[in-house]
Amino acid sequence: MNAIKSTTFTFPGQTQVYNGKVRDVYTIDNDLLVIVASDRISAFDHILHEAIPYKGQVLNQIATYFLNATSDIVPNWLIDTPDPMVAVGHKCQPFRVEMVIRGYLAGHSAREYKAGKRILCGVELPEGLKENDKFPKPIITPATKADEGHDEDISREEIIAQGIVSEEDYKQLEAYTYALFERGTQMAAEKGLILVDTKYEFGKKDGKIYLIDEIHTPDSSRYFYADGYAERQANGERQKQLSKEFVREWLIEHGFQGLDGQILPHMPEEFVNSVTARYIELYEKITGKEFIKADNSDIENRIKANVLDFLKKVH
């Protein structure tokens, strides 16, 4: 199966290119963003050696699905998706924080809790929890948005005190974050899933706050299967989940957590194919739609042709 790990397009009116951990972002006339969701996969802030076939398509189409389903809550950056792996939208000035929201003690929060921490990003955590227990109510644990390296935990008070986000804007970001998580939780429940935690990114354009980037994808979110959740918790068993956590677990088993001196392992083809299958499973589970694999015999030329056709229409 073909996969695309990087792109080097030059589009008409292109003024800037930014390569993120997963997405390649092309700025057009300092007004539009053409974002290509590559098949790269990252974990522990490292891009893994192998690309995952169809991952970019899955991420792009799930994000589009949820952006359309939440546009009544908050305006978002998306204008159109001219290719299965491409989204085009408004260029916004991003806030330098990620709004991480957690409904359960899982992943990073569970690791911190296990290490003895009871305050995370200024939020007090209750005693007596075990991994994957539900919090009494969802908590927001923001992170600074790093251009390179690790995103860092930060508290609401520090964000406002340091002037990273104004208090007025931060209150709005909090309100949007809680509302989006509630909608995502409802939509997941309808499909037999639990939205465990996720993150949202926001930006501003012409004084207006927009939801930007992806939402509720397996790269930005963690999902458990609702069926059997309570039994697995009661028995101290691992939760069955649809997220990128199983990739992190595989890396940990192979001696890698992104720490100094550790060598990033290569994923065998069999494991890569299993990652593709998990991403497609999540798409079908969360949207209730069959995943239609795009023709990936010549991905680069397909993307280029579709983006050029779109730009001709809007310019």
204: domain CATH number is: 3.30.470.20
Residue 83, in any domain of the structure: yes
Q: How confident is the model at residue 148 (pLDDT cuts 50, 70, 90)?
A: low
Placement of tokens 């924080």 in the chain: 97
What are φ and ψ of residue 300, in 5° steps?
-60, -50
The residue among 160, 149, 156, 28 whose CA lies nearest residue 82 is: 28
**Whole-angstrom distance, CA of residue 162 vs CA of residue 10:** 38
Give pLDDT, residue 150. Answer: 65
Q: Are residues 74 and 132 in the same domain?
A: no
Residue 134, in any domain of the structure: yes
Q: Are residues 99 and 179 in the same domain?
A: yes
Residue 27, in any domain of the structure: yes
Give pLDDT, residue 61. Answer: 97
Average pLDDT of the chain, as a whole number = 95
User: Cβ distance 212 to 204 under 8 Å?
Assistant: no
- The amino acid at residue 22 is V
Residue 222, in any domain of the structure: no
DSSP E strand boundaries for 149-278: 193-205, 208-212, 221-225, 241-243
Q: What is the pLDDT of residues 44-64, one digit of tens each?
A: 989 999 999 999 999 999 999
CB atoms within 10 A of CB 65: 19
Q: Are residues 83 and 104 in the same domain?
A: no
**Whole-angstrom distance, CA of residue 112 vs CA of residue 122:** 13
Q: Are residues 115 and 201 in the same domain?
A: yes
User: Cβ distance 299 to 2 under 8 Å?
Assistant: yes
Q: Are residues 60 and 111 in the same domain?
A: no
Residue 38, in any domain of the structure: yes
Q: Which structural domain, as residue segments, surrounds residue 124?
A: 95-188+197-208
Lowest mean pLDDT among 75-89, 213-227, 288-302: 213-227
Residues in contact with 292: Cβ distance below 8 Å, sequence separation at least 6, in sequence order: none
Say how many domains are in the chain.
Answer: 2
Q: Are residues 126 and 74 in the same domain?
A: no
Q: Are residues 76 and 114 in the same domain?
A: no
Q: Are residues 182 and 110 in the same domain?
A: yes
Strand partners, 212: 201
* Buried/exposed code over 198-221 (b: 16+ C-beta within 10 A; e: otherwise): bbbbbbeeeeebbbbbbbbbbbbb
Residue 19, in any domain of the structure: yes
Q: Are residues 75 and 128 in the same domain?
A: no
User: Cβ distance 178 to 164 under 8 Å?
Assistant: no
Q: Are residues 40 and 126 in the same domain?
A: no
**Whole-angstrom distance, CA of residue 39 vs CA of residue 8:** 14
Residue 239, in any domain of the structure: no
Give pLDDT, residue 36. Answer: 98
Q: Are residues 114 and 63 in the same domain?
A: no
Give pLDDT, residue 246. Answer: 85
**Residue 47 has which token pair?**
């891009």
Give pLDDT, residue 147. Answer: 62
**Whole-angstrom distance, CA of residue 265 vs CA of residue 87:** 31
Give pLDDT, residue 149. Answer: 58
Find the distance separating the first CA and the last CA of the chain, reported in whole Å.
Answer: 35
- What is the biggest distance separating any 2 CA atoms in the chain, rounded to whole angstroms? 59
**Whole-angstrom distance, CA of residue 283 vs CA of residue 223:** 12
Q: What is the pLDDT of residues 81-140, one digit of tens each?
A: 999 999 999 999 999 999 999 999 999 999 999 999 999 999 999 999 999 999 999 999
Give pLDDT, residue 18. Answer: 94
**Residue 15 has which token pair?**
């003024």
Q: Is 122 exposed, middle or buried (0-12, 13-18, 19+ CB in 10 A)?
A: middle
Residue 216, in any domain of the structure: no
What are φ and ψ of residue 39, in 5° steps?
-95, 15
Judged by DSSP in three states, 241 sits in: strand
Q: Are residues 115 and 169 in the same domain?
A: yes
CATH of the domain at 52: 3.30.200.20
